[in-house]
Chains A and B, each alone.
Chain A
């Protein structure tokens, strides 16, 4: 069995400033902004009206179909407005402005609990009703991911505690502080997937978390904690499966094709905490770090808290010049501080003006091969980059496996010529997707 996946990179970890800091509750902002599109799939459908008073934990919106989740109120308060709200993409989407009651005790309202004796379908329904999506950053609806297709079976349930993004320490703290929730979550997941074996994958820089969880494994539960060497992008589902099981997920396939299901550790903890009470997600753990903030740490922040409020509370410098949501490798740069925390926000990384290296001059590709040696799935990013410049998108996909790229950014990270390779690939993919959808339409005319 192989010990790791091929290639990969070692960005500076920068985790030591926050990985010892316990999770702290964040204050309620004076105004909560909740976009309805916080996950992959259809936006949640709003079921409240302006002026309505809502309780913390009460559903504000329901799932619009299978590929969607509901949205719960993160605070007790009044619905001030239902209109377009800004999101990180720069667009405006449907959302809710919610004003918390200032003197409320903020008790969380409970729904109908999902018991461990429930059927797999009932558990999946419970996970959807709790509004749970992948908290690692992808925000893919968890109940969809957990649905084992007909004719397939799940042998391994992999709990992803890798957290390979620099700066981020949320999963690390969740593993240290929410062990009981994690194992409760595993019970639900074992039931719903029918997995025979559970592996918790943790990188070697979180040995304390691995030891802690190993001690806590409940008697009779088929769980092993496996520590793997630190390497980016080990947290990517496919890379983790290779590192833990020595198997490769077929190109274009899913983990279930090698009898595995991978769930993020914080998502698992959320399932274990919410399902016994029939509650929904109201808040999540977020690492706030980077040279631009004073009070770095791991905070439990209500969903919908405006980013500007968060930055003010943690003492961000006035001259901040770059803010990322997520980690610095795959996170998204923020252009507007009036957006808010969403379910997929794992980190907020802030750089001040003096911390940003502005000399990112782009040189031509010198074919040094650094990207080839970095790509975890053995693509040739150099060749793909050259092809994308000449707009040979079909060749990129047909002959050079463009569609297998999961945009981890390792190639751009190592490129000495500062070529934005991943960005080229994102654009190429989206152009290809457009062409694909455009073709049948043209044929109909």
Chain B
């Protein structure tokens, strides 16, 4: 009777069952419609950019783990997410060698040097993107119109540019709604913005599809809804106030919500669990701070878009938010100042 050696573990002996790799996988799946729409609107160029970003992120993660004699951590799917996110933030005709470099930088500098998954201060994909923006300011602001004929068959020459060669700017280029507004004061129609009928980074153009992905993750309790809601409502309210003050100078709050990388950033980047605060009050403050920075950079800054820097600064603030926002522990008194 009872021949097997008993398996011992410490309590609790049951688990809720949701595991980190499952969460990561679901985040990746939730981004799939965004990827598909990116390929649909920008064609094979976008596919190559996103695929390259994913491959370079995963390869870098694997190589660094091997190099440091650790078990490879690519099966936790976090490098896949970093790769997809990086790909989605790049212009559709971004040279692949630069994309590859971006993936390496994201994982190596954005994550690995901090100690790997969970230890990184910043969203790795945005670290890679910031690096690319600094290193290749021209290529990363060379936009491309969506829905061109033949986009599934022809690869734009700049995409295949040789490493370390700056590509020539292609004949056709398309301004993003934000740059059109910033530099030419042209307002794009909100429905076009929401549906993604515009130019921009590969994955940022269709707000509706991004929101659907977000709703999926929120429904599966894999995303904290307070973060996107806090960011978006802050942007909406602040830009609404400005719009009411002077609708000649300031864009409408709807334009602000649906243009640029805001939706992608608010739903898929700012919500990165590692870089956001751990308390519910903390994430609301974090979201407000990011929203505020986005409005400030877009309206008064030198750049047309500020989502990336706003989230990176939000990430930087996170440890301080966690330090100051601590729920009162049961049975203790709040420290009175």
| A interface residues, Cβ below 8 angstroms from B | 5-6, 9, 11-12, 166, 238, 242, 248-253, 308, 311-312, 316, 318-324, 328-337, 349, 353, 356-357, 360-361, 363-369, 372-373, 376-380, 382-383, 401, 404, 407, 409, 412-418, 420, 422-423, 426
Contact = CB atoms under 8 A, between A and B. Distances in A.
Contacts of B11: 324, 328-333, 407, 409, 412, 422
How would you classify the secondary structure of chain A's contact residues: helix, strand, loop or mixed? loop
Contacts, number: 168
B328 interface: yes
22 contacts: A5-B330, A238-B331, A248-B331, A251-B330, A308-B1, A318-B2, A322-B6, A328-B14, A332-B11, A349-B13, A363-B76, A364-B116, A369-B278, A369-B279, A372-B278, A373-B280, A378-B328, A378-B329, A413-B12, A414-B16, A416-B19, A418-B20
B327 A322 contact: no
B219 interface: no
B118 interface: yes
Contact of A333 (B10, B16, B23, B273): B10
Given A363-B19, A378-B330, A380-B326, A329 B117 contact: no
Contact of B331 (A349, A356, A404): A404
A335 B19 contact: no
A333 B12 contact: no
Contacts of A6: 330
Nearest to A407: B11
Interface string B1-36: 111101111111111101111110000000000000
Nearest to A349: B13
B248 to A, nearest CB: 43
Contacts of B23: 366, 368, 416
A319 B4 contact: yes
A320 B326 CA distance: 44
B10 A423 contact: yes
Given A333-B13, A413-B16, A416-B18, A250 B331 contact: yes
A413 B7 contact: no
A329 B118 CA distance: 26
Nearest to A365: B118
B332 interface: yes
Nearest to B3: A318
A211 B8 CA distance: 39
Contact of B21 (A238, A318, A363, A412): A363
A404 B331 CA distance: 9
Given A328-B12, A404-B330, A407-B11, 6 more contacts: A11-B14, A251-B332, A334-B6, A335-B8, A366-B273, A415-B15
Q: Count chain A CB atoms within 10 A of each CB in B13, B23, B119, B329 and give the residue with the most.
A: B13
A335 B6 contact: yes
B226 to A, nearest CB: 10
